[in-house]
Amino acid sequence: MSVQIRYAARSDVGAVRKQNQDAGYASGHLLVLADGMGGAAGGDVASSVTVGHLAELDEVHRADDLLPLLKAAVTDAHDHLVELAREDPKLAGLGTTCIAILRSSNKLAMVHIGDSRAYLLRGDHLIQVTKDHTLVQYLLDHGNITPEQAENHPRKNVIMRALGDTEGGVELDESMREAVIGDRWLLCSDGLFGVVSNDTIAHTLATIDDLEACADELIDLALAAGAPDNVTVVLADIVDDRDLTAATVTPQAPVIVGSAEENPRPSRGRGAAARAAALRAHEDTATAELPAFAPPQRKRRWPAILGAVLGIVLLVTGGLFAGWVWTKSQYYVYVANGNIGIYQGIPQALGPIELSRLKERTDVPIEDLNETARARLEQPVTRSSYEEATRFVTELKNEYSREREQRDREEVRRERQNRTEEMRKKAESTVDPSADPAKEPSDGATGRDDQ
């Protein structure tokens, strides 16, 4: 089973700012959000350049290449911004946050830096996937402030990690995830979550099915709350491509919003990705010039028809074989007959054909795990190699062993207490209750007179 992404993006300058320094990009393979900073001269440049570099990745890739491609593009964007700041003193201090998700089939790779956020709505539950790289989050993580104090902290906008002309190198949060059908993703700048509560965001995502209408509503909610900053949202739904038909789905072009739309700044165009992007643009233009229906050709020879059929068969067979080979390089951890199991493949099926097999069933029962560990295994936990899957299982085993040892020690302690209590009671029950020897009569106190 394969998936597709339906998407929408919106951006607004807000009620206070005069310039939009946010940028967003959305397509069937790539989602990007960047929130620029550095004053009037630099913020829009930083976000637009970053989106320009990442947009070069908007094509089909192997799952194993997703994270390396994202890291390389983000690093190129960072180096480009540093170069711009060095060449133009007016751009000194420019920088940007960045969240990017790149898809290959049902695999999602994500990189994140800064305080923009990614949320995931699964069912009715909203999950904040990213962690803010801010001073306030650092203080919160180390117990220096409470969540209530964090809400109104005077330095809540101080960012500790960003791209551009800032101190330190590029330090990204990276992750690989499964694209689960029914999930709804939201990338947003702090212009949204800074003024709209998570509960309101969750309710909006869960109750408005149409993505464009949902994006519009989120922007309107931020504006109604005063919108002191630029507001940008990028939305994506994970859908089963078997449910999509030509009659029900209109092909979507990539959506570009914010500074990347108003003042597009392409990357420096280095490497194969840039050439591929240019080629796609040329192909799109050529395709647009074709008529909707080409007139049928009267003369067709059967060898040509046979060759076309054979070509299609070979193409489909080759694609299926390549996909099958790729699944054999994937692993996931899930329940196996009541115990923890490691599976080879992906947790999907192609009709009656399962795309995975049980490789190893461990001796750790699921019911003996703590509540947190059991919750983690309610869904398959995917890993890109057998070694990574084994490490994850080892972590669960170690946690299981520690808790079992703690239970055993507690049991031994209780047994000792019980034995001590039994010995004490037994000792008390065997004491002789006879009279005090000091009160027994002596020879001189018998009442007899020897004289």
Note the pLDDT of residue 263. 62
Q: What is the largest CA-CA distance in the chain?
A: 160
- 257 within 8 A of 23, measured Cβ to Cβ: yes
pLDDT-derived band at 271 (thresholds 50, 70, 90) equals very low
pLDDT digits (tens, 9 = 90+) for 423-450: 888 777 765 555 444 444 444 444 444 4
Note the pLDDT of residue 235. 98
Report the C-alpha gap between 395 and 213 in whole angstroms.
43
pLDDT-derived band at 148 (thresholds 50, 70, 90) equals confident
Kindly report which listed range (228-237, 331-340, 428-437) carries the lowest average pLDDT score.
428-437
Report the C-alpha gap between 373 and 400 in whole angstroms.
9
Threshold 0.85, pTM exceeds: no
**Residue 38: exposed, middle, or buried by beta-carbon count in 10 A (0-12, 13-18, 19+)?**
buried
pLDDT digits (tens, 9 = 90+) for 113-144: 999 999 999 999 999 999 999 999 989 888 88
Compute the residue count for the chain: 451
- The mean per-residue pLDDT over the stretch 388-404 comes to 80
pLDDT-derived band at 353 (thresholds 50, 70, 90) equals low
The tally of CA atoms less than 13 A away on the side-chain side of residue 331 is 17
Task: Calculate helix-pair angle for 43-55, 66-87, nearest 10 degrees.
Answer: 150
Residue with tokens 């989120």: 218
Residue 27 contacts by C-beta under 8 Å, 6 or more apart in sequence?
5, 7, 58, 252, 254, 255
Give the number of other Cβ atoms within 10 Å of residue 234's Cβ: 27
Report the C-alpha gap between 45 and 87 in whole angstroms.
14
Q: Tell me which amino acid residue 173 is.
A: D
Task: Report the side by side order of strands in the sheet with 339-350.
Answer: 353-365, 339-350, 331-336, 381-383
- 217 within 8 A of 233, measured Cβ to Cβ: no
Report the C-alpha gap between 38 and 53 in whole angstroms.
19
Report the C-alpha gap between 39 and 164 in whole angstroms.
13
- 218 within 8 A of 234, measured Cβ to Cβ: no
- 66 within 8 A of 109, measured Cβ to Cβ: yes
Residue with tokens 């206070």: 16
Q: Ranked by mean pLDDT, which of 62-76, 248-262, 318-332 comes out on top?
A: 62-76
Note the pLDDT of residue 326. 56
**pLDDT > 90 fraction of the chain, expressed in percent and rounded:** 45
The overall average pLDDT reported for the chain is 80
